[in-house]
Chain A
Amino acid sequence: MPKTLCILVWIAVALLGALALATVALHRGEQINAMWLVVAAACSYALGYRFYSKFIAAKLLTLDALRATPAERLENGRDFVPTNKWVVFGHHFAAIAGPGPLVGPVLAAQFGYLPGTLWILAGAVFGGCVQDFVILLFSVRRDGKSLTEMARDEIGRLGGLVAYVAVISIIVILLAVCALVVVNALKASPWGTFTIAMTIPIALLMGVYLRTMRPGKVLETSALGFALVMLAIWGGQWISQTESVARWFTFSGPALAILIIIYGFAASALPVWLLLAPRDYLSTFVKLGTITLLALGIVALRPTLHMPPLTRFIDGSGPVFAGNVFPFAFITIACGAISGFHALISSGTTPKLIRRETEARMVGYGAMLAESMVAIMAMIAACVLQPGIYFAINSPAGIVGQAPEAAAATISNWGFPITAAEMYTLAQSVGEQTLYNRTGGAPAFAVGMAHIFSNSLGGQALMAIWYHFAIMFEALFILTVLDAGTRVGRFMVQDALGHIWKPMGRTSWYPSILATSALIVAGWGYFLWQGVKDPLGGINSLWPLFGIANQLLATVALCVATTIVIKMGKVRYTTVTLGPLLWLVAVTYTASWHKVFDPNPRIGFLSHAMQVAAGPAANVRLIFNDRLDAVVTGALIVMVTLILIESAVEWVRVLSGKKQARVKESPFVATRFAEEQG
């Protein structure tokens, strides 16, 4: 393309993006079309990728097209395999896309669509994508080392230890929150519970089919499993309509929590091929298909956003979770803008597949942009709902009351009119008894998604099917995160205990498998139990805890990145990683302070404990849980403070010349792919 034309095209993209952003940000008092969000996002991402990532690649990282990657140098056909960049992109995206970008924006929609949308766009372009890109490249230059290994090598032993403990902590909290989202989506829902229950025998069947009948034919097996799941969704309506059978699949929150804890333990202890691997394949199959379908649905339907750009709850009094828009919108969105967990993937499998250094830009920066687009779609799915419906679904009974009429009256008084009759009709249309108090974000997302799908395909007649398809999609891949996460946590604990007593480190020794699985499951199981018993719905305390943990892990990753940047002698470009790092420090420290010490009992753990203690029926368990949450938040902050201090000391020593700036990269080897384009 001629240079002048190219410049004109990019000016047009910038102008269109500015127009879309202005429409999103400045419209007041009238509803806007969701396509403005899509256009604003697409233009921001295009500009971010074309200019900012290119700047980082050229100036900060100086990607070297002639340097061989570990995939080439250490090629072994298993872990290290030079792979086509589009294939690595798809692989990386499939690994980073989880429930976070779906649930976080739905919860943050209580502030209106504006704060969340702006943070998703800015956070991804300047924070999340940068983190994923630089960590990926630094891992590529260190033979695919993990984040904890890089923290130990570049910052110090303490950094490595803190990163390790932070990873374990975030896994435990993440799994508890994930499980809670599933419990809240499935409680008193025989249709949803039946569908999800059926995915277990379907996965077992897939495991056996794959191993004995069609070895290695994973795509075929996954397609077969998907057909069976669709059959289960279809059959679920019969289950929910047949009272005698529905009873068997109708569970309370605590009962579902116990079942999920048992499932988590079994999935961690059973052979991978039997349950975990086929479920993972099935979940990935559904996940990629549904995200594509949702994107097509939004573009085809171009729905109107009914949620206002800002709601009254930016003052911190929100029913979904309490806390001001700063910092709580930022820790709630989490993965859709920046996710510390991605640093584990970017320093895990992906660096071992990158064929050329220059491809790290598309994979690291590009895949996070795609994930951010998923978060925008989730925001749209939540905001196409009438705000009254959104708040009725997402508000806990402790805030709006148990009775439908009382809940509808409370929500209407907030300025979001809704009637009990409307909610009843909606619940009937999606095949549920009630949609009140279904906190956690998943049901609201499912109703929004069903609304979009049913308006694009099949009309109102298929609303119930689409709703349960969406619930199945979310629950299936949340449970996949749960079983895979439990197993990853188990391995980490086994590795650590193996240093104390060797047999515990043997991953195939059954007593060790059982003991460490029980330890991890007990960890997240305890927080899950705490969540289901919480009168405020659990999400109010656990999701911010998860957000804080996740963002703190990103802080650790950006500390590692900034240290390496300084050691590379690129001090003038440090703001690329230091900027998002300082922002995350401000957000996480403020949020942690509020969660521990805020005098509002709906926000601060300690003030809530004091309120419960002063009440007529002091619940010892509730008080203990609040204090435990405060201690966990405090411990996370202390750990990250330690790594920040250790990093800062390292920066000062290097910058003052007291320590020689020396990065621990693998030596340069020329690539054999140098002749290739790209």
Chain B
Amino acid sequence: MKSFRLLAEELKSCGQVFVATLREIFDESAYARFLSERQLASSRAAYASFRREYEVTKARRPRCC
């Protein structure tokens, strides 16, 4: 029973890392950091402002061959 619980916790932790990875790749974490830094709630204006700030950095990133 104990090992089953440990396994479940391990799986849960893997799942959390997987979701965190996807959120980082898809810029959701960057947006969350942006909101928390400026103490804003998510909104059209906040997202537009995030994109404006983030756009140049994002667009300068090369995509690999």
Partners in one complex: yes
* Residues of A near any B CB (own CB < 8 A): 77-79, 81, 83-84, 86-91, 94-100, 171, 174, 178, 210-212, 215-219, 222, 271-273, 276-277, 280-281, 284-285, 288, 334-335, 339, 341-342, 344-345, 348-349, 480-481, 484-485, 487-488, 491, 507, 546, 550
- B: interface residue count bin: 35 or more
Contact between chains at B42 and A215 (CB < 8 Å): yes
Inter-chain contacts of B54 with A (CB < 8 A): 78
B1-30: CB near A (< 8 Å → 1, else 0) gives 000000000000000010011111111101
Question: Could you list 11 further interchain pairs (A-B, Cβ under 8 angstroms) beyond the known A99-B65, A211-B47, A339-B65?
Answer: A78-B30, A90-B24, A94-B25, A171-B62, A174-B65, A211-B48, A215-B46, A345-B62, A345-B64, A484-B63, A507-B56
For the complex of A and B, the 3 pairs showing the least CB-CB separation, nearest first, are: A215-B47, A90-B21, A218-B26
Chain A proximity of B17: nearest CB distance (Å): 5
**Also in contact, A87 and B30, with CB within 8 A (given A77-B37, A178-B65, A216-B50):** no
Q: How far is the CA of A118 from the CA of B59 in the complex (A)?
A: 36
> In the assembled complex, how far is the CB of residue B60 from the closest CB belonging to chain A, in whole angstroms?
5
In the complex the two chains form, is B62's CB within 8 Å of A344's CB? Answer: yes
A341 touches B47 (CB 8 A): no
Is A98's CB under 8 angstroms from B63's CB?
yes
Identify the interface centre among B21, B22, B63: most chain A CB within 10 Å of its CB: B63
Q: Taking beta carbons and an 8 Å cutoff, which residues of B are in contact with A?
A: 17, 20-28, 30-37, 42-44, 46-48, 50-51, 53-65
Residues of A within 8 A of B17 (CB): 84, 86-87
Which residues of the other chain, B, contact A481 by a CB distance below 8 angstroms? 63-65
Q: Indicate if the CB atoms of A484 and B25 lie closer than 8 Å.
A: no
* B58–A335 CB distance below 8 A: no
Residues of B within 8 A of A550 (CB): 65
| CB–CB A284/B26 < 8 A | yes
21 contacts between A and B (CB under 8 A): A78-B54, A84-B17, A84-B20, A96-B64, A98-B63, A98-B65, A211-B51, A215-B48, A216-B47, A272-B55, A272-B58, A277-B58, A339-B65, A341-B62, A342-B64, A344-B64, A484-B61, A484-B63, A485-B62, A487-B59, A488-B62
The contact of B64 among A88, A276, A288, A335, by CB within 8 Å, is A335
Known contacts A87-B20, A211-B47; is A341 also within 8 Å of B59 by CB?
A: no
User: CB-nearest residue of chain A relative to B25?
Assistant: A94
Taking the nearest CB of chain B, how far is it from the CB of A280, in angstroms?
8
Known: A215-B43, A215-B47, A218-B27. A79 touches B65 (CB 8 A): no
Q: Point out the residues of chain B lying under 8 angstroms from A96, CB to CB.
A: 64
Does B64 lie within 8 Å of A273, measured CB to CB? no
CB distance from B26 to the nearest CB of A (A): 4
> Contacts of B50 on A, CB cut-off 8 Å?
216
Q: How far is the CB of B15 from chain A (nearest CB, A)?
A: 12
- Alpha-carbon distance A334/B65, docked complex (angstroms): 9
* Whole-angstrom distance between the Cβ of A144 and the nearest chain B Cβ: 12
The residues of B that contact A83 with a CB separation of less than 8 Å are 24
Q: Which secondary structure characterizes the binding site on chain B?
A: helix
CB contact under 8 A between A341 and B64, given known A78-B54, A78-B57: yes
Please give the distance in Å from A193's CB to the nearest CB on chain B: 22
Residues of chain A with a CB closer than 8 A to B31's CB: 216, 218
Q: Please, which residue of chain A has its CB at the minimum distance from the CB of B23? A: A219
Complex CA distance for A488 and B20, rounded to whole angstroms: 27
Q: Decide: A281 and B51 in contact? CB cutoff 8 A.
A: no
When distances are taken between beta carbons in the complex, the residues of chain A under 8 Å from B37 are 77
A95 in contact with B33 (CB, 8 Å) = no
> Which residue of B27, B35, B36 has the most chain A CB atoms within 10 A of its CB atom?
B27
Using Cβ atoms and an 8 Å threshold, which residues of chain A touch B56?
Answer: 507
Which residue from chain A places its CB closest to the CB of B45 in the assembled complex?
A215
Which residues of A have CB within 8 Å of B26? Answer: 218-219, 222, 281, 284-285
Contact across chains for B24 and A273 when beta carbons are under 8 A apart: no
- B35, B43, B50, B62, most chain A CB atoms within 10 A: B62
A283 nearest in chain B by CB position: B63
Tell me, in angstroms, the Cα distance from A211 to B43 when the chains sit together. Answer: 9
Residue of A nearest to B57 (CB): A79
Asked whether B64 lies within 8 Å of A215 as measured between CB atoms, the reply is no
Q: How far is the CB of B50 from chain A (nearest CB, A)?
A: 7
Q: Determine the distance from Cα of A272 to Cα of B51 in the docked complex, in whole angstroms.
A: 9
CA distance A91 to B36 in the complex (A): 22
Give Cα A590–Cα B63 distance, bound, in whole angstroms: 28
In the complex, which residues of chain A have a beta carbon less than 8 angstroms from the beta carbon of B48? 211, 215
- Which residues of B have CB within 8 Å of A288? 25
Q: Say whether, besides A91-B24, A94-B25, A348-B62, A78 and B47 are in contact (CB < 8 Å).
A: no
CA gap between A78 and B64 in the complex, in Å: 22
For residue A455, give the distance in angstroms from its CB to the closest CB of chain B: 28
Residues of chain B within 8 A of A94, CB atoms compared: 25
Q: Which of A90, A218, A341 contacts B65 (CB 8 A)?
A: A341
Interface centre among B31, B54, B65, by most chain A C-beta atoms within 10 angstroms, is: B65
Return chain A residues, CB-CB under 8 Å to B42. Answer: 215-216
- Residue contact B59 to A219, C-beta cutoff 8 Å: no
Q: CA separation between A272 and B15, bound complex, in Å?
A: 31
CB distance from B63 to the nearest CB of A (A): 4
